[in-house]
Amino acid sequence: MKRLKVGLVGLGEVAQITHLPVLESLYDKYEVAALCDISPQLLQELGEKHRVPRENRYTDARQLAGQADLDAVFVLNSDEYHAECAIHALHNKKHVLLEKPMTLNIADADAIIRARDAAGVHVMVGYMRRFAPALARMKEELQTLGPIKYARIRDIIGPNRFMIEQSGVVRKFDDLPEGAMGDKLARRAEQVSEEIGDAPQKLRNAYGLLCGLNSHDLSAMRELLGMPKRVASAHCWNDGWNMTATLEFDGYCATFETGFDKQRRFDAVIEVLGETKSLLLKYDTPYIRHLPTTLHIHETIGEAYDETVHRPTFKDPYTLELEAFYDTVVRDIAPKTTPEDYKQDLVIFGMIVEALRKQERTEG
């Protein structure tokens, strides 16, 4: 079996808790052959831990992209640098796995698509929730549901550190280059402005929430239900960090609710209700591996009311995602989560922001 040599750009929380451990567990498919981070101490520590040669440790993503023996690059750094780092890799004809959100605006998404097509390689967006077998089972069950009466999408979570501090360790150092945070914030402001224009900070925060946490929710919703026709209404509060919206589909509406609290739990579900049957897809935190994604089916048949819970596997969605990426590269097949697919989420984010903007004008 061919082992893919991969380089990782960005060695923060998601790389340390999920990607690096999963890559090592899939040792028959992957070799971690290069690492890149702007923190020299973090780069040295993780380089030693994962046995990456010193000459294959970089503080510049362009240098990693140029390493001749790499098959693929995982772009795991901060959102504002995704497009730049992905395009460097694509110019060097590397396959790319991009953590979500792929980009903060459509212009950068289109630039990635052009670079991918010119290179003749694959780009896959890291929507691990869409690789959960419970979601596939829900898609099958939707065919037996009959007309949809209502749907709801909910994602309200506590701080990630609440999960990590009880289950793992994330290493951080205070040796970032001078001006790194200022550059990050300036890039973010520019990229968000390009997509939503001039907007108050409250709406910019709401857009950031949509791109970050809720890209998972709305992407999975699209796979199950398709694109909404419009956003009938939307509200946000708590400086934009809590939000609700009503999404209109053919013949029914879906409610979307999201935000943060200080609970040590993860509350993420998609529920679809028919006349006599309902389906509830329940996700748990990705920061504790192997917590299952489950499908709960509620159905009335004659005199009986049945409740069943389906747990197709304990294999975590990140592992399933990286197995799918391996097949994409080795078998040369288009991934499910393409850049074109991701652009549909940017369209929904824009629809919600416009509804929020309209509500803000109404409230004066």
**Claim to verify: residue 64 and residue 156 sit in the same structural domain:** no
28-63 confidence digits (pLDDT tens): 999 999 999 999 999 999 999 999 999 999 999 999
Full strand arrangement of the beta sheet holding 242-249 = 230-237, 242-249, 252-260, 150-157, 266-273, 277-283, 294-301, 304-310
Within a domain: 137: yes
In CATH, what number is assigned to the domain containing residue 113? 3.40.50.720
- The answer on pLDDT for 270 being more than 70 is yes
- The answer on pLDDT for 292 being more than 70 is yes
**Can you tell me whether residue 286 is helix, strand or coil?**
coil
Contact 33, 6 (CB under 8 A): yes
Residue 110: domain span: 4-126
Contact 23, 30 (CB under 8 A): yes
- The answer on pLDDT for 1 being more than 80 is no
Predicted TM-score of the model (pTM) = 0.95
**Claim to verify: residue 134 and residue 244 sit in the same structural domain:** yes
What single-letter amino acid sits at 49? K
**Claim to verify: residue 16 and residue 78 sit in the same structural domain:** yes
Full strand arrangement of the beta sheet holding 95-99 = 57-58, 30-36, 4-9, 72-75, 95-99, 123-126
Within a domain: 79: yes
Domain boundary among 126, 152, 187: 126
Domain boundary among 70, 92, 126: 126
305-364 confidence digits (pLDDT tens): 999 999 999 999 999 999 999 999 999 999 999 999 999 999 999 999 999 999 888 876
> Distance from CA of residue 101 to its chain's centroid?
6
What is the spatial distance between Cα 115 and Cα 357, in angstroms, rounded to a whole number? 34
In total, how many domains does the chain have? 2
Within a domain: 325: no
**Claim to verify: residue 286 and residue 267 sit in the same structural domain:** yes
| pLDDT given for residue 364 in this prediction | 62
**Claim to verify: residue 106 and residue 148 sit in the same structural domain:** no
Within a domain: 263: yes
Within a domain: 337: no
**Claim to verify: residue 185 and residue 205 sit in the same structural domain:** yes
